[in-house]
Amino acid sequence: MPPSTRRIIMTSIPKLGLVAAMFMTCSSSLVQAAALVQVSLWDKGASMEMPTGLIYAAPGLDATKATMGIKVSPGAVKAGKVTFKVKNDSKDTIHEMIVMFLADPKKPLPYIDAENRVDEDKAGDKGEVSELDPGKSGSLTVDLKAGKYLLICNVPGHYGAGMWAEFTVNP
């Protein structure tokens, strides 16, 4: 091999190594980035009568009667780190968002009738954005495995009034 060719190869190898190192660094940071999910907590106003019996997986559920709810976009992400950006879009009501794993998506979450709320300890609470005043925002980043989840507001009466949304984490 002529010396000029050896010189080109020898000077090119470190550059290729630098390019490879930059590519690996950039791609690993992309893999580690959390999926972003926008969440809106909404209601039709404190003056609206709060319906009951709109609990997830309840027989005969008619979600059209809900006067409050949760909008989530996108409704599905890949397993791994997920960041929920949550905004309370209510004008006059405090809301929260809790991520619950659904061990059996056909069954309702464990409910404490006397307190008019979900039993968070038994339900599989994965994290929450606690009570947000009207117009306020918060965020939560959590590592989620594949499966079905439910995003709920567990302020007394809100979950039973239909304030929940299904959420899927794909493998």
User: According to the model, what pLDDT value does residue 98 have?
Assistant: 98
Residues 73 and 146 in one domain: yes
What parts of the chain have a pLDDT lower than 70? 1-32
Residues 27 and 60 in one domain: no
User: According to the model, what pLDDT value does residue 10 have?
Assistant: 52
Q: Which of 144, 170, 167 is nearest to 97 (CA)?
A: 167
User: According to the model, what pLDDT value does residue 124 have?
Assistant: 84
User: According to the model, what pLDDT value does residue 19 have?
Assistant: 47
Domain count, the chain: 2
User: According to the model, what pLDDT value does residue 87 have?
Assistant: 98
Give per-residue pLDDT as tens, 44-61.
Answer: 988 888 888 888 888 788
Residues 124 and 159 in one domain: yes
- CATH classification at residue 58: 2.60.40.420
Residues 86 and 147 in one domain: yes
Residues 13 and 97 in one domain: no
Residues 17 and 99 in one domain: no
Give per-residue pLDDT as tens, 31-46.
Answer: 558 899 999 999 998 8
Residues 108 and 142 in one domain: yes
Residues 10 and 71 in one domain: no
Residues 57 and 128 in one domain: yes
Structural tokens at position 30? 């992309």
Residues 62 and 112 in one domain: yes
pTM: predicted TM-score of the whole model, two decimal places: 0.79
Residues 52 and 121 in one domain: yes
Residues 74 and 100 in one domain: yes
Domain region containing 6: 1-32
